[in-house]
Structure 1
Amino acid sequence: MVSSGLAEFVRGLRVRRAAEWRASSENPFLLEALRKEKLEGQRIAAWARTVALAATGVLIAFQNANWSMLYFHGLLLVFIALGWAQLRFATVGRSRIELLLILADLVLLAVTLTVPNPFVAERFPTAMVFRFETFPYFFIILALATLAYSWRTILSIGSVVVVIWLVSVLGVALFGTTDPELGARVAAAFGDVPVLRGIVDPNSVVWSIRAQEMVIFFLVAAILALRGQRSNALLIRQADLAAERASLSRYFPPSMVDELATASSDVGAVRSQDVAVLFADIVGFTKLAERETPETVVELLRRCHAVIEQAIFANGGTLDKYLGDGVMATFGTPRISPADCANALAAARDIVEGVASANTGLVAAGLPPLQISVGVHFGPAILGNIGSERRLEFATLGDTVNVASRLESATRALGCRIVASDALVSRVGEGTQGAVTGGFRRVPALSLRGREAPIDVWVA
């Protein structure tokens, strides 16, 4: 029962470890968060170690004011150097150098605690080093590790310390110096109390206490590792939310991103609803691309897209997709609003005016000016995620989308910049109608390619 439970626990750790590595490799926000957390924690740990060891050095000097204590001051300097070396080589992921530095830390501490100062003339049984109860110094390293290392490393430190301390105790028991005369006196004094004799004997490493130290240390390390694993899970969740917000911010206005990121409903669920659809396209882009350099073409697209994006988001629209030199946007996705039609028409105006304003800067920079055409329509559409599991995309589909695209194309024949369907203009609220529709004139019965029945439109 115990062995199966332990096996299940180890298997769970491996699964969580694999999940974390997969998440960090797929999510750049998580990788960056882990990197910042690791470096900041390592920096704090290095300074904390330096301050703590400096204070320890001062304490040693006051308690034992003799030259032999310089041995320990030298060791303290080595520990400080190891701390800064760990900061220098800190990285997210597996690092052999970092692991070797941690191992050097633990081995050096074990040697410091179990090997007597070679500059002290007075000799006593080596096992007496355990009477000074120095093992808790390992807990300082463990505490510092929680500031910088992953839960896996903390658990590994717990295991490695147990092994190192076991080897150290065995080394003292087998190869340490002893004082048989003192041992004989203790045996004579406490011969009838074996337990007390084992504790008092200066030649004894007192295995029961050493075992207790190792067990308690490993349990504390395991508990801290579990706490670290839970913190990692929270960090992964926060990084996922950041990735979701970044993904949403590419399509939705900033004011809507937080609402959608925390919404309980599935935004990508397939549904049908009325939306306003806007298409914007650069007039004559094909010829422009033929005569201009690739760098110029891309620069023009970036500037034009920035103007269009600003107009769409400023009017509460959703940037559906870029279509080469064009853009498709929707108003009323994913949340329906009474002002969707007015917002779509206002965005169309802002796009045309924004591109006209941007042309001043383009000409000043030696770039050709741009002309933009916009088509806007309102009607029912199908919304939802399309594509395969490898690449899903939120899309707006249906006849309304096709009509909006045809209206944008009709601007060439009509000699205008904006064509809006009567279905959209008629739904502009009374309070904003004059401000939004000013400058538009009605064109009845416009025939569109692919449609039998003509539609009434407004042009500007």
Structure 2
Amino acid sequence: MVDDEADVELLISQRFRRQVRAGEFAFVFARDGEQALRLLQHDDAAIDLMLLDINMPVMDGLTLLARLRDLHAPVRAIIVSAYGDMPNIRTAMNRGAFDFVTKPIDMVDLEVTIRRTLDDIAKLREIEQRRAAAERARSNLARYFSPNLVEMLAERDEPFGPVRRQNVAVLFADIVGFTALSERMGPEDVMLLLRQFHERMTTRIFACGGTVEKYIGDAILAIFGVPTTTDQDAGQALKCADGMMAALCDWNRERKAAGETLLGMGIGVNFGPAVVGDVGSARNMSFTVIGDTVNIASRLQTLTRTAQTPLLVADGVVQAARAQCDDELAEILHRLKDGGEQAVRGRHEVVRVWLGMERRSAHGQGLEIGVGGLR
């Protein structure tokens, strides 16, 4: 309550003593606008509502309203004044007053106005809490999905729609020799290594419009073409693989300078039909992609070890990428070498593959990454 009349404090304290004893209301009193500002700045979170007179010394109520607006103070204000003429009412409302009660005070009307204002404050707080929760949800989604999918996932009840069959580009990537490497490291160091690897590679995946389907230890499964396919999906997967190798080059330079073990990586990329959709229970759903296209991408990633190349790309990817080739993609395709037909474990039919890339770092420095690390 901000009012320079001493009897107002006594009147309010007596009228609302039952509500104060019950813990519904807690009043703080100030005699002018400057004192009220000091109280707000000292403990602004505790004051929700201000009952504010207009005519006061030092700083009047209308000036205080303007200051509150400039400071973006969250407190709501009800004008309680004998100056109930229309110019004062309009000025107060324009400066952010929520309501206006005239003197002499009708205590019943004042209590109704207070409760209505507090109800409005509670609703606004609930809206703000929901907004904050939605922002947290979007932030969490952004850790796993590309930015173009985050809004869709947050707003739709069934973002990926029914289970269906569609063409997708699939990319598997992992660290070469990770099991042997982790045996020589402490658990905390292994976790740090994984986080650093995932962070660098996921950044490239999202930059190319891909979606991380899952992390499997040091391995990453990324999908291009969900929820809807485009003619860019195969090319984006190739650009992603190229960017991931550049990221590894840069990271290895940092690791070499720090005296740490250099890393190698194997990437397998495929393009073709797969079954896409949500699996799981009503309480715990998971997006997944299933099919021969996914299996072949996984086998190609494993085959990079014996083929002594950091990258194996199925011919279907190359043919689809050529159909929508731009300058960047043309340069990537030019660096691929025809690996001929390769037998893939668990599959009767051979797969024609393309392999290897001469790598540059993201800073343009010449560097080649093989399955064993830096060359």
TM-score relative to the length of structure 1: 0.54
Alpha-carbon contact 1:341-1:427 (below 8 Å) kept: yes
Q: Which of 294, 310, 313 is residue 420 of structure 1 equivalent to?
A: 313
What does residue 375 of structure 1 align with?
Answer: 268
- The structure having more radius of gyration, on CA atoms, is 1
Q: Deviations over 1:303-362 (max 9, x none)?
A: 322221222122221122222211111111123221100110111121122202210101
Letter in 2 for 1:441: K
Alpha-carbon distance in 2 for matches of 1:290, 1:85: 60
Q: Which residue among 331, 338, 349 is the counterpart of 2:231?
A: 338
Equivalent of 2:161 in 263, 269, 278: 269
Q: Determine the C-alpha separation between the residues in 2 that align with 1:442 and 1:234.
A: 58
Are 1:447 and 2:343 matched, yes or no? yes
Matched residue type, 2:249: A
Residue 259 of structure 2 corresponds to 366
Give 1:79 deviation, angstroms. 11
Q: Residue 218 of structure 1 aligns to which amino acid in structure 2?
A: E
Where 1:426 maps in the other structure, the secondary structure is helix
Query: CA-to-partner distance for each residue in 1:397-417, whole Å, 9 max, x for gaps?
Result: 333222211110111111111
The one-letter amino acid paired with 1:458 is W
Shift of 1:88: 5.4
Instruction: Provide the residue aligned with 1:231 in structure 2.
Output: 124
Report the residue type matching 2:263 in the other structure: L
* Aligned match of 2:220: 327
Q: Give deviations 1:421-442, integer Å, cap 9, x for gaps.
A: 1122111134335323122222
| 1:57-113 C-alpha deviation (Å, 9 max, x unpaired) | 9xxxxxxxxxxxxxxxxx84799889867765676xxxxxx6xx99xx99xxxxxxx
Between the aligned partners of 2:257 and 2:206, the Cα distance in structure 1 is: 27
Partner of 1:222: 115
Name the CA distance, whole Å, in 1 between partners of 2:200 and 2:33. 57
Distance 1:339 1:459 in 2: 21
**Rounded Cα–Cα distance in structure 2 between residues aligned with 1:363 and 1:341:** 33
Aligned to 1:260: 152
Q: Which amino acid in 2 is paired with 1:434?
A: A
Whether the 8 Å contact between 2:142 and 2:150 is mirrored in structure 1 is: no
Tell me, what secondary structure is at the counterpart of 2:352? strand
**Between Structure 1 and Structure 2, how many residues are aligned?**
291
Which ranges of structure 2 fall in alignment gaps of 5 or more residues? 6-28, 52-60, 78-102, 357-375
User: More strand by proportion, 1 or 2?
Assistant: 2
The amino acid of 2:111's aligned partner reads F
CA distance in 2, matches of 1:380, 1:253: 21
Q: Which amino acid aligns with 1:242?
A: E
Is the 8 Å Cα contact of residues 320 and 329 (structure 1) preserved in structure 2? yes
Using the TM superposition, give the Cα deviation of residue 148 of structure 1 relative to its aligned residue in structure 2, in angstroms.
5.0
Residue 334 of structure 2 corresponds to residue 438 of structure 1: yes
Distance 1:441 1:283 in 2: 21
Residue equivalent to 2:94: none
Aligned equivalents of 1:230, 1:293: Cα separation in 2: 50
Higher helix residue share: 1
Counterparts of 2:121 and 2:163 in 1: how far apart (Å)?
A: 42
Q: Distance in 2 between matches of 1:216 and 1:457?
A: 81
Q: Which runs of 5+ in 1 are unaligned?
A: 1-48, 58-74, 92-97, 107-136, 155-209
Q: Quick one: structure 1 residues 81 and 407, their matched pair in 2 at CA, closer, same or farther if it must change by over 3 Å? A: same
* CA 1:383–1:222: 2 relative to 1, 3 Å: farther
Q: Secondary structure at the match of 2:309?
A: coil
| Aligned positions of 1:188-337 closer than 5 A | 213-254=106-147, 256-257=148-149, 259-260=151-152, 266-272=158-164, 273-337=166-230
Cα RMSD (Å): 3.9
Instruction: Return the TM-score normalized by structure 2.
Output: 0.65
Contact 1:377 1:421 in 2 (8 A): yes
Q: Give distance in 2, aligned partners of 1:347 and 1:412.
A: 20
Q: Is the 8 A contact 2:336 2:354 kept in 1?
A: yes
Q: Which amino acid aligns with 1:450?
A: G
Could you tell me how far apart the structure 1 residues matched to 2:275 and 2:107 are? 64
Whole-angstrom distance in 1 between the partners of 2:128 and 2:30:
35
Distance 2:42 2:280 in 1: 45
